[in-house]
Amino acid sequence: MTTTARPPQPVHFHKMNGLGNEILVVDARGPQTPPPSDDVKAMAIDPRTRFDQMMLLTRPRRPGTEAFVVIFNADGSESSACGNGTRCIGWLESRNTGRSTFQFETKAGLLDVHVENIDRVTVDMGEPRFAWNEIPLAEPFHDTRAIELQIGPIDAPVLHSPSVVNVGNPHAIFWVTDVDSYDLAKFGPMLENHPIFPERANISLAEVRSGTDIKLRVWERGTGLTQACGTAACAAAVAAMRKKLVERSVTVHLPGGKLQITWTPGNRILMTGPVVYEYAGDWTRPAVAAGI
């Protein structure tokens, strides 16, 4: 007796981006089931569905929220927060419902979104965490505005003394005079996987250009060099504010565009920026790869 393998189920998706940070939105709140991990990895490298982060919307766990959002990086690992992706799902929900305010739940907690238009979507990214065990680090540091970590010769390090902060996920920010003078593609993987970061880390090079402007390049955990990273922009901004290098509201310039970051007196980080809607479609794993 022979059995016929069930054909792979198509995955309906929305392709978007936030400042060039490629976002794939998959809504599994209805009849569609979440794609298995092998499909997530395959979609990450398929030219039509390639993403830096996938925002998988699942049924709400808390009353009053729109969805519980599971966030995948391009390597299949999970992330607790994604600012650019949250702006994207907020705008998409606004388009579908006609409303302007939403609350989503992630592993990092509750995120409030306010949509003015496609060019101005604001996310309350929550409170930054600065304690060494909240970031987390592998060993105690009393002052996380600058920790002992360097790349290069001990007497002439190439990069050193980063600020560290958790904004939904771990971030290390190295302060430099010119972000374009460093080979971040070379140093990024080493620093992301440094033993001081037990959960790995997002690595940023930050150039403070004025009291209201920061230029940033980011090596994103689980993704690599990216055009933009919303949580990294938030992390760099609050770290610079904590060091009294900038004011409490700044523009962060990334290769893909700019974000406005405000650290409120109530200890909340507000991130405002645009989104781009590209297209929608259905993805099916190729028959050969699916083993049918």
DSSP 131: S
Strands 101-106 and 11-18: unpaired
Burial class (CB in 10 A: 0-12, 13-18, 19+), 103: middle
- The catalytically annotated residue of 67, 88, 164, 229 is 229
In angstroms, how far is CA 193 from the centroid of its own chain?
17
Respond yes or no: is residue 229 known to be catalytic. Answer: yes
- The catalytically annotated residue of 54, 82, 165, 252 is 82
Listed residue (62, 111, 72) closest to 90, CA to CA: 111
Peptide bond into 265 cis (omega under 30): no
d(CA 267, CA 104): 19
DSSP 129: B
Buried-exposed string 242-260: b where 16+ CB fall within 10 A, e elsewhere: beebbeeebbbbbbbbbbb
d(CA 242, CA 249): 12
Listed residue (201, 184, 95, 109) closest to 147, CA to CA: 201
> Radius of gyration over alpha carbons of the chain, in Å?
19
Respond yes or no: is residue 88 known to be catalytic. Answer: no
d(CA 56, CA 40): 10
Residues carrying an active site annotation: 82, 229
